[in-house]
Homo-oligomer: A and B are copies of this chain.
Amino acid sequence: IETESSAEVLAMLEGLHPTDIAEIMDKLTMDEAKYLYLQLDGEMASDVLLEIPENMRRRFLRVLPPEVIAHQFVEHMDSDDAADIMGELEEEVVEAVLSEIDDKEQAGDIADLLEYDEDTAGGLMAKELVKVNENWSVQTCLKEISSQSEEIDEIYYVYVVDNDNILKGVLSLSKLIQKPTHSKVKELSNEDIQSVRTDTSQEEVAQIMEKYDLVVLPVVDQIGRLKGRITIDDVVDVIREETGKDYQMVSGITGDVESTDNVWRLTRVRIPWLLIGTAGGLTGAQVLSSHQDTLNHIPAMAFFIPLIAATAGNVGVQSSSIVVQTLAAGTRKFDTLGKKLLKELGVGLITGLFFALLIFGYNYLFSDSYKLTLTVSCTLFIVIVFASMFGTLIPLVLHRFKVDPAVATGPFITTMNDVLGLLLYMGVAHFFFNFLG
């Protein structure tokens, strides 16, 4: 790349989508990327800036003076994207950039957006929208839309407000152009409209947009004044993030990583859950050593420790995952706590019986200790029933106490059930060998 002239590079990049350019830059060294980047014009440069990875963007922005950031990038961006980028900068830089922006209205919009919590509707929304007064005629409306839409890339809906900026309804552009020009906006607007408040959580925004198949959702303040709008592409990111979080929890990873991250980061996100697992393993060791006599008496008992522990862990993870996923889907059609536990008891009993009989059959054929066979089968049955009950109950309890139930999946449940399984194993063995023995 270094040897090519800038004209050639530009010719090469022309016609490429900003996302593709960002991908190319990600493969280059920092210097090459910088060189490439400087060839792009304002509009394209700001689009590409939004698509490059966060750490690269930080390094880019750190070396640039506020006036360049303001004129080169921020002025070409929509308010929501600008606010996201500014949120990554330090406070004094933000102030400097805001004061450099020539369009004071845009600067004001960005400053407003920076006030909202990142995880709320206010943090997701953009200020750019087209709105018309309910008392206007179609003709005034079309003229106004033309002038308002100059700065906006795409219009999906036109919002209808009253004199106090209270959201009243929505007009679809396609309906508008089919109507005679003297009709009133009020008569054409659809007043049956979904909206959220600025402090609605992003999870709830995602659920509403998914449930009603919406592409854009207006955001209002406490008294119903139109403040902005959220488009579905930002919500897709929320959904990805949200499901990704649950996936990480169940696999025992803390924090968002990709296999392309560096070794240190990849290690750091894995240690915490492994520590919990280790604590569980050591507790298991304690349980076993305090039942040393039983183990010394029947050494073959040790053979089935992995089976008991693994089954307990697997059953627990399954139960908790089903609960967590149902909670995450946010459906209101939800069984009562009692019914859920009763059903899980049913599942546990059937599964437990199935595996107890399976192992009983296996050991009946291959083991010569009748008591051990009984012990292992009985333990397996009890462990499966308990593990499934715990797996269901714990996420529900956490959810009730407003803790993310997903923390109770994966290694946490596995570890807890491992220890529980060992305790039960030793208890059952004690019963069969000492009392029946």
Task: Report the minimum CB–CB distance from A279 to chain B (whole Å).
Answer: 10
Binary interface encoding of chain A residues 303-327 relative to chain B, with 1 for a CB under 8 A from any of its CBs, else 0:
1111111110111011011110110
State whether B260 touches A411 (Cβ < 8 A). Answer: no
Q: Is the interface of A mostly helix, strand, loop or mixed?
A: helix
Q: Which residues of A from 379 to 419 have beta carbons under 8 Å from B? A: 392, 409-411, 414-415, 418
The yes or no answer to A9 lying at the interface (CB within 8 A) is no
Compute how far the CA of A146 lies from the CA of B347 in the bound complex, rounded to whole angstroms: 57
User: Do A317 and B251 contact each other (CB < 8 Å), given the known contacts A278-B311, A299-B295?
Assistant: yes
Chain B positions within 8 Å of A347 at CB level: 263, 266-267, 270
State whether A152 touches B174 (Cβ < 8 A). Answer: yes
State whether A174 touches B173 (Cβ < 8 A). Answer: yes
Binary interface encoding of chain A residues 189-222 relative to chain B, with 1 for a CB under 8 A from any of its CBs, else 0:
0001010000000000000011111110000000
New A-B pairs, 8, CB < 8 Å, besides A306-B418, A317-B410: A236-B236, A247-B321, A270-B318, A273-B318, A274-B351, A284-B310, A285-B307, A306-B309
Interface size on A, residues (CB 8 A): 119
State whether A335 touches B239 (Cβ < 8 A). Answer: no
The yes or no answer to A39 lying at the interface (CB within 8 A) is no
Stretch at the interface among A19-27, A61-69, A111-119: A19-27
State whether B233 touches A215 (Cβ < 8 A). Answer: yes
**5 CB-based A-B contacts, threshold 8 Å:** A210-B240, A243-B243, A266-B343, A277-B314, A284-B307
Chain B positions within 8 Å of A289 at CB level: 300, 303
User: Do A322 and B253 contact each other (CB < 8 Å), given the known contacts A282-B362, A350-B263?
Assistant: yes
State whether B251 touches A318 (Cβ < 8 A). Answer: yes
Q: How many copies make up the complex?
A: 2
Task: Report the minimum CB–CB distance from A159 to chain B (whole Å).
Answer: 14
From B240, B303, B326, A288 is in contact (CB under 8 Å) with B303
From B150, B177, B263, A343 is in contact (CB under 8 Å) with B263
Compute how far the CA of A156 lies from the CA of B289 in the bound complex, rounded to whole angstroms: 69
From B263, B266, B314, A252 is in contact (CB under 8 Å) with B314
From B239, B260, B415, A333 is in contact (CB under 8 Å) with B260
Stretch at the interface among A87-95, A100-108, A353-361: A353-361
The yes or no answer to A259 lying at the interface (CB within 8 A) is yes
Compute how far the CA of A146 lies from the CA of B284 in the bound complex, rounded to whole angstroms: 73
State whether A145 touches B173 (Cβ < 8 A). Answer: no
State whether A278 touches B307 (Cβ < 8 A). Answer: yes
State whether B243 touches A274 (Cβ < 8 A). Answer: no
State whether B307 touches A299 (Cβ < 8 A). Answer: no
Interface-centre pick from A259, A260, A277, A321 (highest chain B CB count, 10 A): A259
Chain B positions within 8 Å of A253 at CB level: 318, 321-322
Task: Report the minimum CB–CB distance from A50 to chain B (whole Å).
Answer: 9
State whether A145 touches B270 (Cβ < 8 A). Answer: no
The yes or no answer to A42 lying at the interface (CB within 8 A) is no
Smallest CB gap from A53: residue in B:
B333
From B231, B305, B358, A215 is in contact (CB under 8 Å) with B231
Chain B positions within 8 Å of A130 at CB level: 174
